[in-house]
Structure 1
C-alpha cells in the first residue's frame, strides 16, 4: 500500500538532447518520400541557411567576468522571416538548435503563417545566476545578435527557461541599438513580451491552450468525452500547467506529474491550481507536494492513464520507455519529445501521437498575433485572442487529421507532408535565384 514519504528525490533528471537532428532528418525524409518532394528542394530544406555562434563576456555580481556561448540557427525563410524561441539551458548546442530551427520551419508552415524557422539560446543553467546577472547576460546576447535579428528578418520568442521578462530586456536592448526615429517601429523584433510592453493578452497560455485544444479536437473526432480522462504531464512549466488547467476544467484528472527534480502521482487526481501554488513556494518544483505520493522517475511513463503530455524537453520517449506507456494518446507539448525508435513502438501499439508541430503550435500562432498587433498599432482583448487561436488551431488540426486518414499514415507524417508541400509550392512559384 502506498504511503506519503518524507524522502524526496532531489536529483535532477538527465535529459538527453543528442540525436535530435537525426530524429528531425528521419522524419523529414519519411514525409519527403511520401510526397515525392523534388530533389532540388529537398537539398535546400535539408540544410540550414545560417548558423550564428557568439561568445560574449558578462561581468558577474562579484566583479568577475564570465564568457557565455550563444546560438541562433536560421533554417529557412522561403515563407517569411525566421521565427522561433530562445532557450537558456545547459543542453543548448548547435545540434539541438539546428533540429529545433528545422521543426520551427515545419510548424510555421503547417499553421499557415508567413514565417520561416529559427531557434537558439545560451548554454547556461539560469538557476545559478541572479536576476541582475540574467538581465546583463540577456542584454549582451541581444547586442551580439543585433545584426542577425529584426522584426522583418528574425523574430525570437520565449522558450525553455526564458519568459516575458527576458523578451522585454531583448526588445529594449535591440531598440536602443536603432536610430532614434526607428526605435518604436522595432517593438515587434521579439514576441512573448509582457502585456504592458507590447505583449499579447493570453500569450502566456497560448501554447498550453493549443495542447489542450488538440486533445479536445481528437476526442471529438473519436466521439469521446474528456470527463474523467486521466492524464499525466511531464514538465509543469508554462506549457504543462496551462494544458492541465484547461483539461481539468473539462473534467479530466491529472494523475501524475514529473519535473526536473522528481515525480509525483495520485490515482484520484492532483488538483492543478493547488499544485501550481505549491510549486511557486518550492523553487518551481512539484517534489514534496503533500497531497500526492512519490513516484520513481523511471516509472512515470508507466503510470495508468489515457493521455500522456510530454511538455519538457526533447528525446524523452525512447525505445527504452515507450513499451511501458499505457496512454492511448500522446500530445506533444514539447519540441521533439519522442524519438524515432520510440515513435515506432508507440505506433505499433496503436497509440495515437499528436505531433509537436501541430500540438504545441499555439505559441507561435500567438506570437504571430502579437507581431501583427505591434505592426498595426492595435490592442487585442483576451477573448478575441482566444477565439482567434481556437479558429486557427482547429483549421490546422482538421487538415492534419483528414490528410492522415485519407493517406492512411500517422499524424506526424501527415503534418510534415502538409508543411513541406506549402514550402515546395513557394519555391516552384518563385524559382531558385539566380
Structure 2
C-alpha cells in the first residue's frame, strides 16, 4: 500500500447545530463544489429516487394490536441496485432514512461496488418486544415492502438493533411470496444472513475489521504501530466489539467504553473479551466491575490516542468536540460527527477517518455474500478476510493519496472520489429520455 503524506489545508468555519440530513447535504455540497460537479447531476444527487412509508398492524403476545411505521428510502441506483441496512430504533424517521441512504450511495461508490444507496427501518425500541413479537413485526414489515425490495433492485442488510436473525426472517418471508421456481433464486434479497442460511463467513466482523484496518493504515502512515496505543469506543455492539478485538490483538489498549447503559474507564485497560462475555451473559457496560464509572459527558474527553464513535449519528458536535484529546477519530457509526463538530476537530489538528471509508467493510462483506449467493458458491473465512483486506486497502490508499495531493481532509477526498464515479456513469449513459 503506497500512500502519499501531506498536511491538509485548514480553514475555520462556524456552523450551526443541525440534523443528519443537513450534515450529509453540507458534506455533499462541499465536495460537489470542489470537483465542479455538473449542475444537472447535482440536481439528481440532491434528491432521493423513492421514499416508502408503510404503516402495518401486528398482533402482540397479549392479543392486542399495535400499528408500526416503517421506512425505506432509495437514494440513487446509477451504479447498481440500492443497498443499505434496516435499523430498529425510536429515532428512525424519514429524515434519518434519507440521510443514511445518501451516505450509502457515497459509501458503495467509494468502495467500487456495483450498488447504489438505500436505507430504512422501523420506529420502535426492540427491547420492549419479545423475540416472537419482533419476528412478526419483521415479517409483516417485509410483506408491506413487497416488490420495493429484491435481489436485483434493493438489498437490505442489518443495521442498528437488527442482526442475522432479522435478515433470515426477511429472506424467508420474501421468498415465501415468490413462486416455487423463484424461491432459491431470491436468497440474496438480503445480506447479513446466518452462516447456515446463505450467509457469508466473516460478515459479522467485516464492519469492525474495516474500522480497525483504517486505523492501522493511518497509524502506519505516521511511521508507528498500534502497540500500546490507547483507544475509546462509543457503542459496544457488533462494530465496537470487533474493532476493539482486532485493535487489542495488535497491542492497542481499550481504556473507555460508552453505550446506552453508561460509561466506564480503566487507565490500565479493559479486556475486550471479558467485557464482551459479561455483556453477552446479561450484564451491561455500566455495571462491569473491572472498570469504574465515569460521567457520560466526560467520555469523549478521555485521554487516548484513538476515538471510535460506533453508536448513532450526531454524537460529536460543537458542544463536545472541543474536549476530545485523541489524535484520530475513526467513524465506526454512520454520521457520528456533525459538520460543526468536525470543523472543531480539524482546527485542533485531529484527523477524522470518515464513515463512508472507515466502516465500509460491512457493505463490502455484503457484496461478497451477494456474489456468493448469486453464483452458488461458498467462501471460507480466510478467503473472505483476504478479499476484505484487498478492497479496504485499495479504498484507503485511494482516499489518502487524493487528500494528500489536493491538501484536503479525508472526508472531502472520499466524497470527491465517490461523486466523480457516479458523475462519470451519468455522463456515459446520459439521462432518459
TM-score w.r.t. the length of structure 2 is: 0.96
Output the CA distance in 1 between the equivalents of 2:358 and 2:132: 35
Partner of 2:11: none
Output the CA distance in 1 between the equivalents of 2:52 and 2:390: 36
Paired residue secondary structure (1:375): helix
Partner of 1:14: none
Partner of 2:290: 291
Deviation at 1:225? 1.0
Deviation at 1:271? 0.4
Output the CA distance in 2 between the equivalents of 1:381 and 1:254: 30
Mapping 1:119-268, distance limit 5 Å: 119-268=119-268
Deviation at 1:58? 0.3
Partner of 2:337: 338
Output the CA distance in 1 between the equivalents of 2:316 and 2:214: 19
Partner of 2:411: 412
Give 5+ residue unaligned stretches, structure 2: 1-16
Output the CA distance in 2 between the equivalents of 1:376 and 1:245: 32
Output the CA distance in 2 between the equivalents of 1:231 and 1:181: 51
Output the CA distance in 1 between the equivalents of 2:348 and 2:220: 22
2:313 corresponds to 1:314: yes
> What do the CA deviations read for 1:170-215 (whole angstroms, capped 9, x no partner)?
0000000001100000000000000000000000000000000000
Contact persistence 2:18–2:338 (CA under 8 A): no
Output the CA distance in 1 between the equivalents of 2:107 and 2:146: 25
Output the CA distance in 1 between the equivalents of 2:129 and 2:382: 37
Tell me how large the CA RMSD over aligned residues is. Answer: 0.8
Paired residue secondary structure (2:147): helix
Deviation at 1:159? 0.1
Partner of 1:32: 32
Q: 1:356 and 1:174, CA in 2 relative to 1: closer, same or farther beyond 3 A?
A: same
Output the CA distance in 2 between the equivalents of 1:225 and 1:389: 21
Output the CA distance in 1 between the equivalents of 2:18 and 2:305: 29
Deviation at 1:221? 1.2
Deviation at 1:136? 0.2
> What do the CA deviations read for 1:102-143 (whole angstroms, capped 9, x no partner)?
000000000000000000000000000000000000000000
Paired residue secondary structure (1:233): strand
Paired residue secondary structure (1:73): strand
Paired residue secondary structure (1:183): helix
2:423 corresponds to 1:424: yes
Deviation at 1:18? 6.6
TM-score w.r.t. the length of structure 1 is: 0.96
Paired residue secondary structure (1:184): helix
Mapping 1:265-284, distance limit 5 Å: 265-283=265-283
Contact persistence 1:18–1:96 (CA under 8 A): no
Output the CA distance in 2 between the equivalents of 1:216 and 1:307: 11
Deviation at 1:227? 0.4
> What do the CA deviations read for 1:245-282 (whole angstroms, capped 9, x no partner)?
00000000000000011000001000000000111123
Contact persistence 1:18–1:95 (CA under 8 A): no
Higher relative contact order (CA 8 A, sep 6+): 2
Partner of 2:349: 350
Paired residue secondary structure (1:155): strand
Paired residue secondary structure (1:246): helix
Output the CA distance in 1 between the equivalents of 2:243 and 2:349: 23
Mapping 1:15-94, distance limit 5 Å: 19-94=19-94
Contact persistence 2:79–2:109 (CA under 8 A): yes
Paired residue secondary structure (2:248): helix
Deviation at 1:167? 0.1
Give 5+ residue unaligned stretches, structure 1: 1-16
Contact persistence 1:230–1:305 (CA under 8 A): yes
Output the CA distance in 1 between the equivalents of 2:301 and 2:198: 43
Output the CA distance in 1 between the equivalents of 2:18 and 2:187: 35
Q: 1:18 and 1:52, CA in 2 relative to 1: closer, same or farther beyond 3 A?
A: farther
